């Protein structure tokens, strides 16, 4: 208990029943979670293997494991993982309930693209029919909403029946969707959406399996509860239904993923959903200065749909929050560069400086200016680490050793070059199709065929077989080193002179080593491959002394000494796509998240210039949402600009309110317009927040905005 404040102590010692912790930004929720885990284990005597602790990123799961290991002094850390990782654990134990092998594949976007390539090639589709990105989105939408019980087809239909549905499909969407399900079942692959769906399906099919997991998980803790979606909510309700011990931590002011399915109501209405809920408020902030918190509290206070709370600063006074308005995006970037150079001159490391923005396009001007000013920077986005060519190649080699699946085979059979080109690969595909076998098996059976004379196909088979025979008895790190050497892959990169790719391989080796030292009994090649399949972004560029550039969404859960939040213009942040009150409140929560990433100093900037669509850019309403006394303006805004901005923002808010509210008049109602006179409402255009009105003295119907002064004809009389 040493070092915990009163609210943290309450959270740690509240062990039984349904507990909701509203934890403000920087209030030490990770500390409370890890200490609660240790309290259950060390003080009460609960076995770690009977505790489930869910986090929302693999990185935070690893951090939690490290903290708990230090507190408990034990390598057994129970189930500390993301929802998806936990589902992999359940499926590795019980997926045979739906006749899948325990050696199923966890698919990432790169694997899905590889499957799409096969489908497009087989059915003559091109990117004009649908891009891979849109195809992936379409598949996800169909799985979640249009065909939510698709998994029953995957489980109940044979491979031949699924193949027939794919071949009989005519529409592009159907071809891709059924082709994808067929490809998934062919290699027993599951993507993110499948993992929770399959677990819920197995729990509904087999009461024995469901009860086993319910009884095993005596205590369930969920971090970042404000980000939970419907499937995760359903899974959580099932799991906690036996012991009825559920401890959730979240902050409704940091809900920024509703576009990904998160539902704020699960946190706000938790006390209505579960019996005798105890709510603990953790508001003491140990991250940011009082000046930063005052601005953040002032901003978020404008939201209506929230639990009223105020972050309490625990750090001493710091510097004021600065706001700078520039005439152009280039001037904005130059001002930021100048401030960073001044900080550096005071001894601040560049790696302590982070620039946040709402959308990726904002970074272009920053990059141009930083290159001219010779300010080194790293963009935390782009190609994710585990999606890079050399990483995918290496993982495909490891996967082939275990699963001998088609996706991995297609990726590495001819890398490095073994003279297994298009013609020979077509031969193998035809043979596999005719004999209903995998491509690897096809090569095994036809290796003596004359088509493979003069190739290195036999050496490739021998390589994979030799590793397949011993991978279960060799540490993953040793296996990886030997494989990269004996396959000739590392030598190929050296020949190409690709130092960056070699550096990435070195980083992969480091990640394997870290996995081995933290995973305990899970330290198998299969577990490691499942782990990497669930990683979303390991592009950390650790150790570089460069300025960090990233979107606010990417920064969620992180903290930085010096933060510049740029591009704070209407139509950019908040986004011009914001059409409802709920969406506007989410944009404001996103700005609140950005504010509360800063520890020592926060700088807010915007530029007039132009938006991408040509509209004039006014300062964001989020600047005006903060009490002016809490910001230091580098120069006073022009009165005319403030007046125009307030008018623009006011008009926008009226429009949004109108779209979100009930329309006072309905089709058929008689109305009187203050200028146009009497008429009849013919229809409503919610998107434009307008009535379609046929005025008595006009021959055609007009679109009339809700801003207009309109009264009911009877009320006028």
Q: Which residues are catalytic?
A: 29-30, 223-224, 254, 597
> What gap in Å lies between CA 124 and CA 42, rounded to an integer?
62
Using CA atoms, how far apart are residues 302 and 587, in angstroms rounded to an integer?
A: 12
Kindly report the average pLDDT of the chain as a whole number: 88
Give per-residue pLDDT as tens, 307-348. 899 999 999 999 999 999 998 888 999 999 999 999 999 999
User: If you average pLDDT over residues 26-39, what whole number do you get?
Assistant: 90
For 390-408, the pLDDT digits (tens) are 888 999 999 999 999 999 9
Mean pLDDT of 254-271: 87
The DSSP element (H or E) to which 51 belongs, if any, is: strand 51-54
312-384+540-655 — its CATH code? 3.40.50.300
- Name the more confident of 609 and 489: 489
678 is in an annotated binding site: no
Cα-Cα-Cα-Cα dihedral of 235, 241, 242, 245, to 10°?
90
Those residues whose C-beta lies under 8 Å from the C-beta of residue 182, and which sit 6 or more positions away, are 159, 162, 163, 165, 166
Predicted confidence at residue 717, as pLDDT, reads 44
Are 621 and 587 spatial neighbours (Cβ–Cβ below 8 Å)? no
Under DSSP, is residue 322 helix (H, G, I), strand (E, B) or coil?
strand
Q: Are strands 690-695 and 701-705 parallel, antiparallel or unpaired?
A: antiparallel
With 50 as the cut, is the pLDDT of residue 536 above it? no
372 is in an annotated binding site: no
Q: CB-based burial of residue 37 (10 Å sphere; 0-12 exposed, 13-18 middle, 19+ buried)? A: buried
Question: Residue 51's pLDDT band (boundaries 50, 70, 90)?
Answer: very high
Cis peptide before 285 (omega within 30 of 0): no
CATH topology of domain 6-90+199-282: Rossmann fold (3.40.50)
Query: Higher model confidence: residue 20 or residue 500?
Result: 20
- Model confidence at 540, pLDDT cuts 50, 70, 90, reads very low
Residue 523 — very low, low, confident or very high, per pLDDT cuts 50/70/90?
confident
How far apart CA 361 and CA 367 sit, in angstroms, is 11
577 is in an annotated binding site: no
**Ligand-binding site membership of 49 (annotated):** no
Q: Is 30 annotated as a binding residue?
A: yes
Q: Is 296 annotated as a binding residue?
A: no
495: pLDDT strictly greater than 90: no
- pTM score, two decimals? 0.75
Pick 139 or 66 by higher pLDDT. 139
Over residues 433-477, the pLDDT tens digits come to 899 899 999 999 999 999 999 899 999 999 999 999 999 888 888
Instruction: Quickly list H helices, 473-606.
Output: 476-486, 489-496, 499-518, 525-534, 552-555, 581-595
Ligand-binding annotation for 26, yes or no, is yes
274 exposure class (CB count in 10 Å sphere: 0-12, 13-18, 19+): middle
Residues 6+ apart with CB under 8 A from 298: 625, 626, 627, 630
**What 8-state DSSP symbol labels residue 694?**
E
Distance of alpha carbon 599 from alpha carbon 602, whole angstroms: 8
Please, which residues bridge with residue 353 across strands? 562
Q: What is the pLDDT of residue 519?
A: 66
- In the chain, where the domains are located: 6-90+199-282, 105-187, 312-384+540-655, 385-534, 669-712
Distance CA 90, CA 519 (A): 17
State the pLDDT confidence band at 715, using cuts at 50, 70 and 90: low
DSSP 269: T
237: annotated binding-site residue? no
For residues 222 and 37, is the Cβ–Cβ distance under 8 A? no
Q: Residues of 38-61 as b/e, b for ≥16 C-beta within 10 angstroms?
A: bbbbeeeebebebbbbbbbbbbbb
pLDDT band at residue 162 under the 50/70/90 scheme: very high
CATH class of 385-534: mainly alpha
Task: Tell how far CA 158 is from the center of its chain.
Answer: 33
Residue 429: per-residue pLDDT: 92
Kindly tell me if the per-residue pLDDT of 537 is higher than 60: no
pLDDT at 371: 87
Tell me whether the CATH fold assigned to 6-90+199-282 matches the one assigned to 312-384+540-655: yes
On whether the CB atoms of residues 406 and 187 are closer than 8 A, the answer is yes
Please say if the pLDDT value at position 52 is more than 70: yes
Alpha-carbon span 479 to 394, nearest angstrom: 11
Kindly indicate the confidence band of residue 539, based on its pLDDT and cuts at 50, 70 and 90. very low
Tell me how far apart the alpha carbons of residues 329 and 572 are, in angstroms, rounded to a whole number.
Answer: 12
Residue 191 has pLDDT above 50, yes or no: yes
Cα–Cα distance between 702 and 426 in angstroms, integer? Answer: 62
């Amino acid at each position: 208990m040493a070092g915990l404040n009163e609210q943290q102590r309450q959270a740690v010692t509240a062990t039984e029943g349904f507990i909701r912790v509203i934890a403000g930004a920087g209030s030490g929720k990770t500390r409370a979670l890890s200490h609660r885990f240790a309290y259950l284990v060390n003080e009460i005597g609960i076995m770690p293997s009977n505790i489930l602790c869910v986090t929302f990123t693999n990185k935070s799961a690893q951090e939690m494991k490290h903290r708990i290991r230090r507190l408990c002094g034990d390598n057994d850390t129970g189930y500390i993982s993301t929802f998806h990782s936990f589902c992999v654990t359940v499926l590795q134990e019980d997926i045979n309930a739906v006749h899948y092998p325990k050696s199923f594949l966890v698919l990432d976007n790169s694997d899905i693209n590889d499957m799409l390539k096969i489908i497009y090639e087989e059915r003559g589709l091109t990117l004009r029919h649908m891009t891979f990105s849109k195809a992936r989105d379409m598949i996800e939408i169909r799985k979640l909403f249009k065909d939510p019980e698709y998994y029953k087809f995957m489980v109940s239909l044979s491979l031949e029946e699924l193949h027939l549905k794919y071949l009989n499909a005519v529409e592009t969407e159907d071809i891709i969707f059924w082709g994808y399900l067929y490809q998934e079942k062919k290699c027993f692959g599951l993507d993110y959406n499948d993992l929770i769906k399959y677990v819920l399906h197995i729990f509904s099919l087999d009461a024995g399996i469901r009860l086993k997991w319910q009884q095993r998980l005596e205590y369930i803790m969920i971090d970042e509860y404000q980000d939970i979606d419907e499937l995760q909510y359903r899974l959580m309700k099932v799991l906690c239904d036996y012991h009825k011990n559920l401890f959730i931590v979240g902050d409704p002011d940091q809900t920024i993923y509703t576009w990904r399915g998160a539902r704020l109501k699960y946190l706000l209405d938790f006390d209505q959903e579960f019996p005798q809920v105890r709510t603990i408020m953790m508001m003491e902030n140990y991250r940011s200065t009082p000046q930063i918190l005052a601005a953040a509290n002032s901003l978020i206070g404008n939201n209506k749909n929230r639990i009223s709370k105020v972050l309490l600063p625990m750090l001493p006074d710091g510097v004021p929050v600065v706001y700078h308005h520039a005439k152009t995006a280039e001037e904005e970037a130059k001002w930021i560069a100048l401030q960073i150079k001044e900080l550096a001159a005071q001894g601040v490391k560049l790696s302590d400086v982070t620039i946040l923005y709402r959308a990726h396009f904002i970074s272009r001007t920053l990059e141009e200016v930083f290159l001219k000013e010779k300010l080194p920077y790293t963009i935390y986005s782009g190609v994710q680490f585990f999606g890079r060519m050399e990483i995918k190649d290496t993982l495909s080699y490891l996967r082939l050793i275990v699963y001998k699946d088609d996706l991995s085979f297609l990726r590495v059979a001819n890398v490095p070059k073994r003279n297994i080109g298009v013609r020979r690969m077509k031969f193998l595909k035809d043979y596999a199709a005719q004999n209903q076998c995998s491509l690897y098996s096809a090569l095994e059976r036809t290796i003596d065929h004359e088509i493979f004379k003069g190739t290195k196909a036999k050496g490739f088979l021998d390589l994979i077989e030799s590793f397949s025979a011993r991978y279960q008895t060799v540490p993953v790190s040793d296996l990886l080193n030997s494989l990269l050497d004996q396959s000739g892959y590392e030598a190929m990169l050296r020949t190409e002179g690709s130092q960056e790719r070699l550096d990435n391989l070195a980083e992969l080796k480091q990640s394997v080593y870290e996995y081995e030292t933290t995973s305990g009994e899970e330290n198998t090649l299969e577990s490691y491959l499942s782990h990497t399949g669930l990683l979303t972004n390991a592009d950390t560029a650790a150790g570089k002394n460069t300025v960090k550039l990233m979107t606010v969404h990417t920064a969620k859960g992180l903290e930085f000494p010096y933060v510049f939040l740029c591009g704070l213009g209407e139509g950019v942040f908040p986004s011009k796509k914001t059409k409802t009150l709920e969406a506007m409140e989410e944009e404001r929560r996103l700005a609140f998240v950005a504010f509360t990433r800063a520890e020592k100093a926060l700088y807010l900037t915007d530029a007039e210039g132009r938006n991408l669509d040509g509209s004039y850019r006014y300062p964001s309403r989020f600047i005006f949402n903060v009490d002016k006394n809490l910001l230091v303006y580098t120069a006073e805004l022009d009165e005319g600009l403030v007046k125009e901005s307030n008018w623009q923002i006011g008009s926008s808010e009226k429009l949004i309110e109108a779209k979100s509210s009930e329309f006072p008049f309905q089709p058929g109602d008689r109305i009187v317009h203050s200028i146009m006179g009497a008429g009849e409402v013919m229809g409503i255009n919610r998107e434009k927040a307008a009535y379609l009105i046929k005025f008595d003295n006009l021959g055609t119907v007009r679109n009339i905005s809700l801003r207009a002064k309109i009264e009911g004809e009877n009320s006028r009389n």
